[in-house]
Each structure stands twice: as C-alpha cells, then as structure tokens.
Chains A and B, each alone.
Chain A
Amino acid sequence: AQSVTQLGSHVSVSEGALVLLRCNYSSSVPPYLFWYVQYPNQGLQLLLKYTTGATLVKGINGFEAEFKKSETSFHLTKPSAHMSDAAEYFCAVSGAGYALNFGKGTSLLVTP
C-alpha cells in the first residue's frame, strides 16, 4: 500500500520568499509521486510528477520537487512566492494500481 503525509496543514510565506511544502511517502513498491494544486472552487491541476530517472523534477509555474529515497520525501519548492500561488496543495502517490492516494493537503497563504 502507498500513502503520503503532508507536514503542516497551513503554511504562510511573504511574497517573494521561498515556498517549501513538505511531503513524506510510504510505499512497498517504487513510488510514483505527484503534486497537485487546487484553487478555490476548482478541480486539481497537476504541478509535477516523479516516475523514474532524474530525482529533481521541474513543474509548471516555477515549482520543483526533489525525490529523496533515503528520506522518503518529495518536498515541493518555489524560489519566490507570488500572490497567485495561494491555493491548496496536495501530494499524492500511486503504484501499479488505479488509485492516486492523496495527502490531506497544505493550504498556502501568501502575504504582501
């Protein structure tokens, strides 16, 4: 079975500051890891995904994440936060099956 734990249900950063959203995974098989973003009253949009290969994954909107097997982590970062980044962020994991297993989400607040 695969699961993810997102550390911190709420994160607040100043505009222009580094964004760091934490995700740790548990998987009995090589994991496929994802970050999704959800804006209010909208569905989920894929930011980036890790399957195999390069451990540093670049996504849309300037986000990137690094797969660290030794730490079972897949943290999401962005060098400089923008007001438009305020949203709910979900880490997810899947294996060979048909389900994406999501974390509980982290709400990102960006202050001026």
Chain B
Amino acid sequence: DAGVTQSPTHLIKTRGQHVTLRCSPISGHKSVSWYQQVLGQGPQFIFQYYEKEERGRGNFPDRFSARQFPNYSSELNVNALLLGDSALYLCASSLEGQGPSYSPLHFGNGTRLTVT
C-alpha cells in the first residue's frame, strides 16, 4: 500500500511569493495534519483537517491556510513568504480525527521549501 505522498519534494520560492503544497493520505485515512520542521528543530503543528473541516490549528499566522478535498487529499497554502518560512513541511494522515493520542499519525517524506 502507498504511504502518505507529498508533492513537490523540493521547492524554491522568493520572498513575497505564494506557495501551495500537496498531500495525499494513506488510502482509507480521513484526517490530514500539517507540520513545519525548521532545520535543527522538531516539527511544529500547523493544522489538522478531518472530513474537510479544520479540527485544530497551531500558533501560525493567517498567511498559512489549508483545505481538505472530498477525496481526503489536502493542500497547504502559504502567502507572502518570508525567509523564516524555509523549512521541511510534513503531512501526516490518520484514520480518524480524534487527535494523535487516539489515532496514530503516519508521516510523509515532506516538502523542502527554500525561500530566498
């Protein structure tokens, strides 16, 4: 079975631009979460979506937004990119939407975003 797939794998953008990252969950998984991992740090929670609805949001500015589609895939959008947005963006899927304590997260390999 295919795991969580993310595209693209690498991306270079300029400050002020907009970026869209994509994620396809494991087949049968209904929930998608997004995490940001800055170099040398642990991942930080951005969003969780379940059945197309936002269930949780981390401490990120409104420049960050996401959505989930009927096939449970998801997009993460970041507007007005800053140098500090350079990071590995990880998508994780889970069967249900209760949170990682009840429904384990399965991570993709991430999208490496570089903002210049």
Is the pair B101, A43 in contact by a Cβ cutoff of 8 Å? no
Q: Which of A27-64 contact B (CB under 8 A)?
A: 32, 34, 36, 41-46, 49, 51
Instruction: Find A43's partner among B44, B55, B109 (CB 8 Å cutoff).
Output: B109
Is the pair A105, B41 in contact by a Cβ cutoff of 8 Å? yes
- Distance (whole angstroms) from the CB of B46 to the closest CB of chain A: 9
Report B-chain residues with C-beta under 8 Å of the C-beta of A96: 99, 101
A104-B104 contact in complex given A41-B109, A97-B56, C-beta closer than 8 Å: no
Judged by a CB distance under 8 angstroms, whether B82 is at the interface is: no
Q: How large is the interface on B (under 10, 10 to 19, 20 to 34, 35 or more residues)?
A: 20 to 34
Q: How large is the interface on A (under 10, 10 to 19, 20 to 34, 35 or more residues)?
A: 20 to 34
Instruction: Find A49's partner among B33, B104, B110 (CB 8 Å cutoff).
Output: B104
- Distance (whole angstroms) from the CB of A69 to the closest CB of chain B: 17
A32 to B100, CA, bound (A): 9
Q: Which of A78-97 contact B (CB under 8 A)?
A: 90, 92, 94-97
Is the pair A95, B101 in contact by a Cβ cutoff of 8 Å? yes
Report A-chain residues with C-beta under 8 Å of the C-beta of B56: 97-99
A82 to B101, CA, bound (A): 30
Is the pair A102, B109 in contact by a Cβ cutoff of 8 Å? no
Chain A residues within CB distance 8 Å of chain B: 32, 34, 36, 41-46, 49, 51, 90, 92, 94-105
Chain B residues within CB distance 8 Å of chain A: 4, 33, 35, 40-45, 48, 55-56, 58, 90, 92, 97, 99-101, 104-110
